[in-house]
């Protein structure tokens, strides 16, 4: 009996693909203007997927994050 996985690819360089609307992104940028807002947003997204049971497999040079979760 093998393991069955589902997979997800998320573009961490694009706030929309990370689940933020344009207005949410602008608000986030305004609220995090004293830090690297893109890094903060990435960390939030990575932690959210982790808490939803997704396992980070890798992040490539183009900022695509590869996740898997056992079915």
- The string of pLDDT tens digits covering residues 26-69 is 999 999 999 999 999 999 999 999 999 999 999 999 899 999 99
Q: Chain centroid to CA 19: how far?
A: 8
Confidence label for 3 from pLDDT (cuts 50, 70 and 90)? confident
pLDDT value, residue 48: 95
Domain ranges for the chain? 5-70
| Contact yes or no for 54/62 (Cβ under 8 A) | no
* Number of neighbours of residue 22 by Cβ within 10 angstroms: 9
Residue 1 has pLDDT above 80, yes or no: no
Nearest to 12 by CA among 60, 52, 53: 60
Between CA 13 and CA 36 the distance in angstroms is 13
The pTM score is 0.81
* Residue 27 pLDDT: 95
């Amino acid at each position: 009996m093998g393991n069955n996985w589902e997979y997800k690819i998320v573009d961490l360089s694009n706030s929309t693909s990370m689940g933020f609307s344009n207005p949410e992104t602008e608000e986030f940028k305004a609220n995090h203007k004293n830090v690297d807002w893109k890094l903060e947003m990435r960390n939030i997204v990575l932690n959210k997927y982790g808490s939803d049971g997704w396992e980070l497999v890798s992040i490539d040079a183009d900022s695509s994050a590869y996740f898997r979760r056992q079915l």
